[in-house]
A = this chain, B = another copy of it.
Amino acid sequence: MNLESVVSEIRKKQSFLCIGLDVDLSKIPAHLLETSSPIFEFNKAIIDATHHLCVAYKPNIAFYEAYGQDGWKGLKQTIDYLNNNYPEIFTIADAKRGDIGNTSRMYAKAFFEDLGFDSITVAPYMGSDSVEPFLEFNEKHTILLALTSNQGAFDFQTKDNTNALLFESVLDTSKTWKNSKQLMYVVGATKAAYFRKIRDIVPNSFLLVPGIGAQGGSLEEVCKYGLNTEVGLLVNSSRAIIYASNDRDFAAQAANKAKALQQRMQEILSTT
């Protein structure tokens, strides 16, 4: 998918919401556990109830791997369902991969070709040749970890690295990589104070912003410094939406939560 389509979908829906699909069988409604594919049935219900309120879905791959082959099957069913029924939706494999070149190439093949995701999150620690294999795929996007939403981000990411903070070096250096215009960046909402600096380095890139909702970041703060002329933000919420209820009305309750966020986004878009 090209990013113009994402922007046009954002304008149409007045939403830059990404919904994180972190399926935990201990948290989903009990009646779904009796179906042949509880992971997929849960996601399908959430997707059908919320697709008009968001522009992206982000399955968190750990939650699928934790269920082995069944998890992988549920992941495949979910991405197929999205691609077949809602091709206008941008899909993100939240996998945080990154390895030597021939291995990154296998991950890229797995997520872009076999599963059919539009994008994947990738860790920068191993440098250019660990990321470039992902960038070789046309109309696929690589979302590089820059400044993450967790407390551990302060261990290395914000340390002074050859006269720039490490995450600034990551942003800056990554711009020199081949096909770098297919890069997007993960920037945690819990670090809103850094957004201005980030926009100085990557004014035009899309940022995937986790950390509002359960992790406590502020949507308004993020938008104040993060929005650009093409919107340039995908703001994610996972647990606060998908686990709004664990009763039979879970999908409707998830839609209510998503709607509330979409309305705040519409308000923000109308005043900027």
Contacts and interface: CB of A to CB of B under 8 A. Distances in A.
Interface of A: 22, 24, 60, 62-63, 65-69, 72-73, 76, 94, 96-101, 103-104, 106-107, 109-110, 114-115, 123-131, 145, 148-157, 159-162, 166, 169-170, 173, 210, 215
A40 to B, nearest CB: 13
A159 B156 CA distance: 12
A65 B76 CA distance: 12
Contacts of A128: 151-152, 155
Contacts of A110: 62, 65-66, 68
Contacts of A156: 124-125, 127, 161, 166, 169-170, 173
A62 B107 contact: yes
Contacts of A103: 22, 60, 62-63
A109 B64 CA distance: 11
B106 A63 contact: yes
A69 B62 contact: no
Given A125-B156, A156-B161, A156-B173, A66 B109 contact: yes
Contacts of A123: 96, 98, 123, 125-126
Contacts of A154: 127
Contacts of A24: 106
Contact of A173 (B129, B155, B210): B155
Number of copies: 2
Contacts of A152: 126-131
A13 to B, nearest CB: 27
A149 B100 contact: yes
A169 to B, nearest CB: 6
Contact of A62 (B63, B99, B151, B162): B99
A127 B100 contact: no
A57 B49 CA distance: 45
Contact of A98 (B63, B96, B100, B162): B96
B69 A69 contact: yes
Nearest to A107: B62
A153 B101 CA distance: 12
A72 B62 contact: no
Contact of A150 (B69, B101, B149): B101
B127 A125 contact: no
B162 A159 contact: yes
21 contacts: A60-B106, A65-B107, A66-B107, A67-B114, A69-B73, A96-B98, A96-B123, A101-B150, A123-B123, A123-B125, A124-B125, A125-B125, A127-B153, A128-B155, A156-B166, A156-B170, A159-B162, A159-B169, A160-B162, A161-B161, A161-B162
